Amino acid sequence: MAGQYLDFEEPIIELEKKIAELKSLSKNNGVDFSGEIRRLHRKANRLKDSLLSRLTRWQRTQLARHPSRPYAMDYISMMTEDFMELHGDRHFGDCHSIVGGIARLEEWSVFIIGHQKGRDLKEKMYRNFGMPQPEGYRKALRLMKFAEKFGKPIITLLDTPGAYPGIGAEERGQAEAIARNLIEMANISVPIIVVVIGEGGSGGALALGVGNRVLMLEHSVYSVISPEGCAAILWEDCKKVEEAAEALCLTSDDLFKLGVIDEIIKEPLGGAHRNPAATAGILRRVLRRHLQELTSIPPKDLVEQRREKFRNMGAFKER
């Protein structure tokens, strides 16, 4: 995963290189640089902290799409045991942009469903760059109903640029598939915990997003449209992505302030991609806390709570 970084991360990378150099120097030459190394480490940490807190919303978007950022399958393998992937929507096919299955997370058997992007070009194409076809949403719904039948909690991990805009997707009802998930998720009688782990791309993300709890990793984004799409439509200029990202208010802090999400999950220093294992550990502890709370709520109240939560979303005036 190392080796790929964004331009604003450069100072951190430089420092880390220096530290590595010093370490190898002291090892090979027997000279003690430990004081210097400690100093540089502290500096690197301060830098990570200050750099990431000063990012613009567009840079935050880039961070959420970071090529080294952990994807759904990474979290699944780091957080859970005995993951059994299940395939197919039983209507048409199996979409590789959405993965799902049963796993053990701490003391619970849970259903985990998430968008999946690819790491290298071959996998990216296999995963269709994380842009699901209608079959993906229908598979997700099948698994949610399966979970409901056996009373197992559901965890969804959101990370997609959006639902795929293609001829086949339209022919097979992309819009219907998303809409169906929204209404059906309102009926599911087991706990649903939604976590935005990277890019929450519009309706394609929301189709897995109707939960009792909606959480966001600190450096993820969630938006009605991508900054690129917004710039192209409203500014009629694809280069205005920075302005568009700024206007859209799509970061975890923005969404928390707008009352759309319940909690921001802090990432390790420098972001999830700098320490995937630690991020997975944090996420597991957060999920355990929510699972403990939600599994004690009667099914009827779970449905009620979820409906109430989305009923109240929006900002308008009335006189």
Burial class for 43, CB neighbours closer than 10 Å (0-12, 13-18, 19+): middle
Q: Which of 50, 4, 8, 65 is nearest to 250 (CA)?
A: 65
Distance (Å, whole) CA 237 – CA 260: 29
Cβ distance to other proteins smaller for residue 121 or 315: 315
Cα separation, 209 vs 225, whole angstroms? 15
| Residue 145 CB, nearest approach to other proteins (Å) | 14
Interface with other proteins, residue 202, by CB under 8 A? yes
Query: Near other proteins by CB under 8 A, which window of 6-14, 77-85, 152-160, 166-174?
Result: 166-174
**In contact, 55 and 2? CB cutoff 8 Å:** no
Among the listed ranges 39-47, 83-91, 107-115, 244-252, the one in contact with other proteins (CB under 8 A) is 244-252
Query: Please, which residue, 121 or 183, has the CB nearer to other proteins?
Result: 183
CB nearer to other proteins: pick between 106 and 184: 184
Asked if residue 246 lies in contact with residue 56, where contact means CB atoms within 8 angstroms, the answer is: yes
**Segment contacting other proteins by CB under 8 A, of 28-36, 148-156, 227-235, 291-299:** 227-235
State the sign of the Cα–Cα–Cα–Cα dihedral 319, 260, 142, 153.
negative
Burial tier of 11 (Cβ tally within 10 Å: 0-12, 13-18, 19+): middle
Site membership for other proteins, residue 191 (CB under 8 A): no
- Check binding of 223 to other proteins (CB under 8 A): yes
Single residue of 106, 243, 253, 262 touching other proteins by CB under 8 A:
243
Chosen residue from 1, 31, 234, 277 binding other proteins by CB under 8 A: 234
Q: Is 106 exposed, middle or buried (0-12, 13-18, 19+ CB in 10 A)?
A: middle
Which residue from 249, 185, 175 is spatially nearest to 212, judged by alpha carbons? 185
For other proteins, which residue of 155, 190, 210, 241 counts as binding (CB under 8 A)? 210
Work out how close the CB of 309 gets to other proteins at its nearest, in angstroms, rounded to a whole number: 9
Q: Output the CA–CA distances (angstroms, integers) from residue 57 to 13, 205, 244, 296, 312, in the order listed.
A: 21, 19, 9, 38, 26
User: Is 318 near other proteins (CB under 8 A)?
Assistant: yes
Residue choice 78, 86, 179, 297 for contact with other proteins (CB under 8 A): 179
Answer for which of 1, 31, 125, 186 binds other proteins (CB under 8 A) is 186
Q: Should residue 254 be labelled a site residue for other proteins when binding is judged by CB under 8 A?
A: yes
Q: In the 8-state DSSP scheme, what is residue 234?
A: I
Nearest CA among 209, 298, 303, 292 for reference residue 255: 209
Q: Which of 25, 55, 260, 278 binds other proteins (CB under 8 A)?
A: 260
Q: Applying CB under 8 A, does 235 fall inside the site for other proteins?
A: yes
Give contact residues for other proteins (rule: CB under 8 A): 163-167, 169-176, 178-180, 182-184, 186-187, 202-203, 206-207, 209-210, 222-225, 229-230, 233-235, 243-244, 247-250, 254-255, 258, 260, 306-307, 310-311, 313-319
